[in-house]
Amino acid sequence: MSDCVFCKIRDGQIPSMRIDEDERTLTFMDINPLSPGHCLVVTKRHAPTLFEADVEDLKAAAATARRVAANDGKGFDWTPVPGDREAIMKTGERLRAALA
């Protein structure tokens, strides 16, 4: 997809700090990190939305995220950046209600 930023990163048209790559996924550092280890795992195959992504690609992305986090040495125990607690709680409540 020519206008997709992630495809452009995948294809090297946009520079990135790649930290991992396999047949189905690409992992690179986030340009606006929320924590020191904030990186993105994307599927190499373009998918406009989660619902259009190949399930096997999603499985691979989850496995890659786990492997990358495990090798970070901190896992997911990264120091969070202070956020708007009230906004976070409201969003959490809305999502919890939607999932009920």
Residues in touch with Zn ion (CB under 5 A) = 1, 4, 6-7, 46
Six token digits for residue 51:
């619902």
Q: Smallest Cα–Cα separation from 17: which of 9, 6, 28?
A: 28
CA angle 24, 47, 78 (to 5 degrees): 65
30 near 38, Cβ under 8 Å? yes
Closer to Zn ion at the Cβ: 5 or 62? 5
Closer to Zn ion at the Cβ: 37 or 60? 60
Beta carbon of residue 5, minimum distance to Zn ion (angstroms, whole number): 8
Beta carbon of residue 46, minimum distance to Zn ion (angstroms, whole number): 3
Beta carbon of residue 13, minimum distance to Zn ion (angstroms, whole number): 11
Closer to Zn ion at the Cβ: 2 or 99? 2
Residue nearest to Zn ion (CB): 4
55 near 13, Cβ under 8 Å? no
